[in-house]
């Protein structure tokens, strides 16, 4: 007899098949038990709201892994997934019933009660403690049997079995023993089991002769033990409700390790799928698959190595007193033979084979929100099939297909559906016609799609609605300019008009120069990408020009009375501002910006880091003569200037490209004089700041700087007089060079 006999009442026999939710041995046992029992109805632990979707399980386009998605209609972020793999016992039970046109139902506590907001009165939550055997019953049994790894113990005991005779009785007995000391289950679990018992009683009332119940092994004793109906009804009375919806979504094997609606996943779903699909010769075929994978990665893997791997795995199983070869033996054998003791390829084997890749498929006529259907149609039209593997997509925006792909990906980003992540162009070009996207579809994005559907029924309408809503709620000008740039990339004309009006309103009344500094670069980018996307940029440019004038006027006041952290933030804003001015290619603005920087360079009230950074930016514009740099360096690094302020000025000046400063002899002479003039205490105090100033340079750049200082020490008198230096005292030079060597992180040879 398969299963536990719950009732021997005339005309009703209930058989409980306690399983692990994902396992080939359990799935094989359920299939065999059902074929032997020939039940009239199959009851499965799962969400009753999805009963109408069960018929789709037999659809030709349905390819596991897939999942049932149940979500609150008014708040889709409150959702739960019920994943199924081909080796899931519940999936095989569904397939058995649907293909035979047998009644099949889900009997878990409906999610209409479980997805009620936590603040609702009477919500059946109460999460389980982590150390409870209910959370990991397999681990509890494994530890009782003297094993540390419950996953491997269950695999050897159940999942690799070909004959499931007597397994369900044994599992029921084991779980009953675990639950012996349990007085009452937690409230939520008590409700779930009460509802499952109610569904079993309902099936009896409907006159079914043989009732098969497929549930998590932990629940087996609670369903096999009779309990008065009035007690269950009292528990279930008056539960709060919320409106929910259900659909099928694709799933991935790597997500089967994620805790879902009805329990924990498995560590090696790819291995379990292999055991299900290749029951005859799982060991040799697995070793062959490892070899194929290694060859695809350019690694050696001969047929002889495959044979030796199988032999070693079998020997290890015998030594470990295993009746069959398991994943642990195969992994150790592969490490020794196919990987030559190198553990690096094992990570690849784990990811590609043990866990597995690939995305399931659901029928096109499965229930879904209109936005999901529109997205699927666009993915098909643009030949962008979703995949669970990471794929790089390089787009040339001058091509219609690539431009349409880019537009879709940008719109999805605005909708918080991060299918693609925009990265740096692999070609390292400076143009604006290329984009490189990193694409990876995750099953949980289905929830994001449902949430985004609240803003519209198509991707374009939803993205426009989302942008308009954000623009209306925006409290910062920088938020609006970022939205404007994103809307241009996504080509949303209606959203652009709304955001522009908001930007105009904010910009005319904003006097906060730091906020204007944050906003201006985004406007410059918007103008730049607007030209690429053939979007009119006149209104954006007009707003940017207004912001620019207010920034230039208010810049001096925004750079005084700053602490060190604020000064660093302002330096980054100045850098971004200069890059933005360069993007606009307006000669008059460029001259005005350079003049504003010059005002910062010569204003003593400005923080030293800002004065140095402003001088650096003018150097990058080619507006600083050698003699002017010498004068400014001697002034900023004079003994009269506090060492901390001088170090900050130096940090602001040298940060960036080393080549720009490498041949500025005047700067190195001033730096040498400043260091020589520091007292011992001041030198020790400022050493970390000076080292930080040089820390971003590469070893080659620091070496070139050290050589430049060496050449300065060896330079003839004429060159040194040109650098406005007196003839060097070689004895003093010998004292200074080790210090500079320490600062620059380079070694001096004997010739120095």
Task: Average the pLDDT over 404-420 and give the result.
Answer: 95
pLDDT tens digits along 316-366 = 999 988 888 988 899 999 999 999 999 999 999 998 999 888 889 999 888
Straight-line distance from the first to the last Cα atom of the chain, in angstroms, rounded to the nearest whole number:
92
Helix (H) or strand (E) holding 61: none
Whole-structure pTM value: 0.70
Q: Which residue has the tokens 């070609």?
A: 427
**pLDDT band for position 308 (cuts 50, 70, 90):** very high
- Flag whether pLDDT at 438 surpasses 90: yes
Compute the chain's Rg from CA coordinates: 35
Distance of alpha carbon 633 from alpha carbon 611, whole angstroms: 11
**Tokens representing residue 342 in the block:** 């190198």
Helix (H) or strand (E) holding 265: none
The answer to whether 644 touches 690, Cβ cutoff 8 Å, is no
The answer to whether 137 touches 175, Cβ cutoff 8 Å, is yes
Query: Three-state SS across 699-736?
Result: HHHHHHHHHHHHHHHHCCHHHHHHCCCCCCCHHHHHHH
Least confident of 202-216, 260-274, 538-552, 634-648: 260-274
Least confident of 160-164, 674-678, 685-689: 160-164
Return the pLDDT at 319: 93
Least confident of 388-397, 676-685, 735-744: 676-685
Judged by DSSP in three states, 615 sits in helix
Task: Average the pLDDT over 237-247 and give the result.
Answer: 93
Averaged pLDDT score across all residues of the chain: 82
Q: In what order do the strands lie in the sheet with 420-423?
A: 391-396, 434-439, 420-423
Distance of alpha carbon 392 from alpha carbon 406, whole angstroms: 13
- Flag whether pLDDT at 533 surpasses 70: no
Judged by DSSP in three states, 41 sits in strand
pLDDT tens digits along 209-235 = 899 999 988 898 999 887 899 999 999
Return the pLDDT at 730: 76
The answer to whether 543 touches 502, Cβ cutoff 8 Å, is no
Judged by DSSP in three states, 747 sits in coil
Residues 6 or more apart in contact with residue 437 via CB below 8 angstroms:
392, 393, 394, 395, 406, 409, 420, 421, 422, 423
The candidate with the shortest Cα–Cα distance to 197, out of 8, 14, 3, 11, is: 14
**pLDDT band for position 242 (cuts 50, 70, 90):** very high
pLDDT tens digits along 89-138 = 999 999 999 999 999 999 999 999 999 987 665 555 545 554 455 556 66
Helix (H) or strand (E) holding 286: helix 282-296
Q: Which residue has the tokens 């058989």?
A: 15
Return the pLDDT at 211: 95
Return the pLDDT at 128: 52
């Amino acid at each position: 007899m398969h299963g536990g006999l719950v009732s021997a009442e005339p005309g009703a026999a209930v058989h409980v098949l306690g399983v692990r939710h994902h396992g080939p041995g359990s799935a094989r046992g359920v299939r065999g038990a059902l074929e032997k029992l020939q039940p009239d109805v199959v009851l499965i632990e799962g969400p009753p709201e999805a009963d109408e979707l069960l018929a789709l399980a037999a659809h030709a386009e349905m390819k596991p892994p897939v999942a049932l998605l149940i979500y609150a209609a008014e708040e889709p972020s409150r959702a739960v997934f019920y994943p199924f793999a081909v080796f899931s016992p519940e999936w095989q039970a569904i397939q058995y019933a649907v293909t035979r046109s047998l009644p099949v139902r889900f009997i878990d506590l409906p999610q209409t009660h479980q997805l009620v907001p936590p603040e609702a009165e009477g919500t059946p939550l109460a999460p389980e403690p982590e150390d409870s055997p209910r959370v990991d019953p397999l681990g509890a049994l494994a530890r009782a049997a003297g094993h540390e790894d419950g996953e491997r113990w269950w695999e050897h005991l159940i999942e690799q079995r070909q004959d499931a005779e007597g397994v369900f009785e044994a599992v029921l007995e084991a779980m009953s023993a675990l639950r012996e000391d349990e007085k009452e289950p937690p409230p939520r679990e008590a409700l779930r089991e009460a509802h499952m018992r109610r569904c079993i009683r309902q099936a009896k009332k409907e006159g079914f002769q043989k009732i098969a119940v497929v549930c998590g092994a932990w629940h087996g004793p609670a369903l096999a033990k009779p309990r008065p109906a009035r007690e269950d009804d009292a528990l279930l009375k008056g539960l709060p409700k919320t409106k929910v919806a259900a659909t099928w979504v694709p799933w991935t094997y790597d997500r089967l390790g994620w805790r879902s609606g009805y329990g924990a996943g498995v560590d090696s779903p790819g291995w379990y799928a292999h055991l299900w699909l290749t029951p005859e010769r799982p060991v040799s075929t697995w070793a062959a698959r490892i070899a194929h994978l290694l060859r695809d990665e350019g690694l050696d893997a001969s047929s002889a190595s495959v044979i030796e791997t199988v032999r070693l795995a079998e020997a290890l199983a015998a030594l470990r007193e295993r009746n069959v070869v398991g994943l642990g033996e195969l992994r150790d054998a592969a490490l020794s033979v196919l990987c030559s003791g190198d553990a690096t390829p094992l990570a690849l084997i784990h990811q590609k084979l043990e866990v597995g890749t690939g995305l399931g498929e659901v029928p096109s006529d499965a229930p879904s929100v209109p936005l999901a259907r529109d997205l699927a149609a666009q993915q098909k039209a643009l030949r962008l099939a979703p995949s669970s593997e990471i794929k790089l997509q390089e787009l040339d925006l001058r091509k219609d297909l690539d431009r349409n792909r880019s537009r879709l990906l940008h719109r999805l980003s605005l909708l918080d559906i991060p299918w693609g992540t925009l990265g740096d162009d692999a070609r390292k070009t400076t143009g604006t016609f290329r984009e490189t996207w990193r694409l990876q579809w995750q099953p949980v994005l289905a929830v994001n799609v449902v949430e985004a559907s609240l803003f519209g029924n198509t991707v374009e309408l939803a993205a426009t609605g989302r942008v308009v809503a954000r623009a209306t709620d925006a409290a910062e000008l920088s938020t609006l300019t970022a939205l404007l740039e994103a809307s241009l990339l996504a080509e949303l004309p209606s959203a652009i008009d709304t955001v522009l009006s908001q930007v105009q309103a904010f910009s005319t009344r904003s006097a906060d120069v730091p906020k204007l500094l944050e906003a201006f670069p985004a406007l410059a980018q918007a103008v730049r990408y607007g030209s690429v996307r053939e979007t009119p940029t006149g209104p954006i440019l007009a707003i940017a020009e207004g912001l620019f004038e207010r920034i230039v006027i208010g810049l001096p006041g925004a750079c005084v009375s700053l602490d060190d952290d604020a000064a660093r933030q302002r330096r980054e804003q100045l850098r971004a501002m200069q890059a933005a001015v360069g993007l606009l290619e307006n000669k008059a603005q460029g001259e005005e910006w350079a003049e504003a920087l010059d005002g910062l360079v010569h204003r003593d009230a400005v923080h030293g880091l800002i004065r140095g950074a402003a001088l650096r930016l003018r150097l990058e514009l080619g507006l600083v003569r050698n003699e002017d740099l010498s004068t400014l360096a001697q002034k900023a690094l004079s003994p009269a200037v506090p060492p901390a302020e001088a170090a900050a000025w130096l940090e602001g000046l040298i940060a960036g490209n080393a080549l720009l400063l490498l041949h500025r002899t005047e700067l190195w002479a001033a730096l040498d004089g400043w260091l020589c003039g520091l007292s011992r205490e001041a030198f020790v105090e400022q050493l970390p700041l000076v080292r930080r100033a040089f820390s971003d340079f590469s070893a080659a750049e620091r070496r070139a700087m050290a050589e430049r200082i060496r050449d300065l020490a060896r330079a003839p008198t004429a060159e040194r007089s040109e650098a406005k230096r007196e003839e060097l005292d070689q004895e003093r030079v010998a004292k200074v060079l080790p210090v500079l060597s320490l600062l620059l992180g380079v070694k001096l040879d004997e010739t120095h």
